[in-house]
Amino acid sequence: MTIPKHAPTLFPAQNNQLLIGGIPLTRLAQRLGKTPFYAYDRQLIIDRVTQLRQQMPADLKIHYALKANPMPAVVQLMAGLVDGFDVASTAEMHVALDTLMPSQYSSIAGPSKRRAELRSALAAGITINVESPNELETIAQLSAQSGITASVAIRINPAFELKTSGMKMGGGAKPFGIDEEQLPVVLQRLQALQLDFQGFHIYSGSQNLKAEALIETQQQSIALAMRLLEFCPNGIKTLNIGGGYGIPYFAGEQPLNTQQVGDALAIEMAKFKAVQPHAEVIIELGRYLVGEAGVYVCQVVDKKISRGHIYLVVDGGLHHHLAVSGNFGQVIRKNYPVAIGNKIHGEPQEIVTIVGCLCTPLDIIADKMRLPVAEIGDFVVVYQSGAYGLTASPNAFLSQPNAAEVLV
C-alpha cells in the first residue's frame, strides 16, 4: 500500500527557503516586520487564470467570486485577469467597484439581501441574483422608487445536485435560489415587471475534484436553462453555470482535471449557442483561482515535549485560519500541507504537532506530521491558504493580534 502524500505545491524553494513572489520567506518576513501573515503570489494567480483560459472554451466568461479572497490588492489584480466579479455583500461590492472592472460585469448573490443592500446594488448598476419570489417583488419596488431599472438574474435551485462536492448549494430543499419547479410562475411574473432580465444563475456547490461530477452538473445546468427558455419570450443574455472547481488540500487528493472539464463544456456550450447565439456563458470561481497561490506563515514561539510528544507552539492559529484547524466545514480533521519555510528540505526530520496560540484544544495547525526539525524562531508555512483564510476565520476570538496580508 502506498502512503498518501499531499499534491505538490506550486511554490518554488531556493537555498532551502520558500520563495513567495520570488522573495525568500525570511526576507519577506523582515519586510513585513511581523508574523503571522498571509502572502499571495501574484504570478501564481496570473498563471492559474492564463492556464484555465487555455483549457476552457474561448468564449466562456470567467468570473471571480470575491468571498474566496476579498483582499483589495488581489481583487485589483483579478480585475485585469477575469471577465467579471461575483460579490456576496455590499462591502465586497465596493471593493469590486474600486477596480477597473465595469459594474455591469459584476453580480451580487446571497439569500438575505437587505433593502439597503439592494438599493446600493441598484445604484451601482450590478446584476442582482434574485434568490426568492419575495426578493423579486422588493427589487421591482425599489427599482420603481429609484427610477433605475434593475438588472436581475434568477438564481435557480435545481432539482439535481453536484455529486461528491465539499459543500452542496443546490438540489433538494435549499435556502439558495428559487426551486426549478417554481420557475414557470416566477418567469411569468417577471414579464409584468419593469426589470432588465439578464438570465439564470445556477450554483450547485463548491470544492469538487471530480471532473465527471462537474461535467455532469454543467450538462444538467445548460439543459435546464434550455428547457426554461420556453418561458423567456425574449431569450436570455447570460447563463451563469456556477463553478465548484476544487483544489487538493489533503494527502491523497489529486488536482482537478480542468482540461477534461473544459473539453466537455465546449460541447455543451455549442448546443446552447445554437439556440442562444448572443448569450454569454459564465463560470464563477473563487478558490480555484487563488487558493493555491497563498500561504499562511507563522513563527515558532516555543517547542516542548509532553509525555514523549513534540509540540511546536506558534504565534498564529485558528483565529486567522479556521480551515487549517479542521473547523470550517470538515467532517474529520486532516492536515493541510505544511512546511518549515526556512528549512524546506531540512534533515533530520521528526514527528511534531503544531498548535496555535489560542487556549483551546481546537487550535491545531498540524497533527503528528513528519517535518524537518524546527526550533524557536523558525517559520511554519501552511500551503493552499489563498482562499477562505483570514476573512473566513473568527479574527476576534481571544483578542489576539490580527494577521498581515501581502500580495507579492
Ligand X SMILES: *Cc1c(COP(=O)(O)O)cnc(C)c1O
Q: Does 65 bind ligand X (CB under 6 A)?
A: yes
Q: Measured from the CB atom, is 157 or 207 closer to ligand X?
A: 207
Q: Does 203 bind ligand X (CB under 6 A)?
A: yes
Q: Measured from the CB atom, is 105 or 203 closer to ligand X?
A: 203
Q: Does 284 bind ligand X (CB under 6 A)?
A: yes
Q: Does 126 bind ligand X (CB under 6 A)?
A: no
By CB under 6 A, the residues from 360 to 389 that bind ligand X are 387
Q: Measured from the CB atom, is 171 or 372 closer to ligand X?
A: 171
Q: Does 319 bind ligand X (CB under 6 A)?
A: no
Q: What b/e string do you get for 167-198 counting C-beta neighbours within 10 Å, with b at 16 or more?
A: ebbbbeeeebbbebeebeebbeebeebebebb
Q: Does 85 bind ligand X (CB under 6 A)?
A: no
Shortest distance in whole angstroms from residue 244 CB to ligand X: 6
Q: Does 52 bind ligand X (CB under 6 A)?
A: no
Q: Does 68 bind ligand X (CB under 6 A)?
A: yes
Half-sphere exposure of 11 (CA within 13 A, CB side): 34
DSSP for residue 181: G
Q: Does 119 bind ligand X (CB under 6 A)?
A: no
DSSP for residue 382: E
Q: Measured from the CB atom, is 322 or 357 closer to ligand X?
A: 322
| Separation of alpha carbons 24 and 324, rounded Å | 23
Q: Measured from the CB atom, is 65 or 314 closer to ligand X?
A: 65
Q: Measured from the CB atom, is 286 or 316 closer to ligand X?
A: 286
DSSP secondary structure of 310-372: EEEEES--TTT-TGGGT-SS-SS--PPPEEETTSTT-SSEEEEEEE-SSSSTT-EEEEEEEEE
| Separation of alpha carbons 386 and 402, rounded Å | 16
Shortest distance in whole angstroms from residue 43 CB to ligand X: 21
Q: Given the C-alpha cell 468571498, which residue does it identify?
A: 67
Q: Does 285 bind ligand X (CB under 6 A)?
A: yes
Q: Which residue, among 347, 262, 338, 234, has the nearest Cα to 11 in the 3D structure?
A: 338
Q: Measured from the CB atom, is 110 or 341 closer to ligand X?
A: 110
Q: Does 109 bind ligand X (CB under 6 A)?
A: yes
Shortest distance in whole angstroms from residue 284 CB to ligand X: 5
Q: Are 179 and 227 in contact (CB under 8 A)?
A: no
Q: Does 286 bind ligand X (CB under 6 A)?
A: yes
Q: Does 121 bind ligand X (CB under 6 A)?
A: no
Q: Are 45 and 21 in contact (CB under 8 A)?
A: no
Shortest distance in whole angstroms from residue 401 CB to ligand X: 27
State CA 319 to chain mean position distance: 19
Which one among 6, 119, 168, 287 touches ligand X, defined by CB under 6 A?
A: 287
Helix or strand holding residue 28 (H, E): helix 25-32
Q: Does 67 bind ligand X (CB under 6 A)?
A: yes
> Number of residues in contact with ligand X, rule: CB under 6 A?
15
Q: Does 288 bind ligand X (CB under 6 A)?
A: yes
Q: Does 64 bind ligand X (CB under 6 A)?
A: no
By CB under 6 A, the residues from 8 to 37 that bind ligand X are none
Sign of the torsion formed by the C-alpha atoms of 347, 20, 64 and 125: positive
Q: How many residues does the chain have?
A: 408
Stretch that binds ligand X, among 119-127, 177-185, 280-288, 321-329 (CB under 6 A): 280-288
Q: Does 243 bind ligand X (CB under 6 A)?
A: yes
Q: Are 46 and 54 in contact (CB under 8 A)?
A: no
| Separation of alpha carbons 283 and 375, rounded Å | 45
| Separation of alpha carbons 390 and 35, rounded Å | 14
Name the residue with the smallest CB distance to ligand X: 286
Contact residues for ligand X (CB under 6 A)? 65, 67-68, 86, 109, 203, 206-207, 243, 284-288, 387
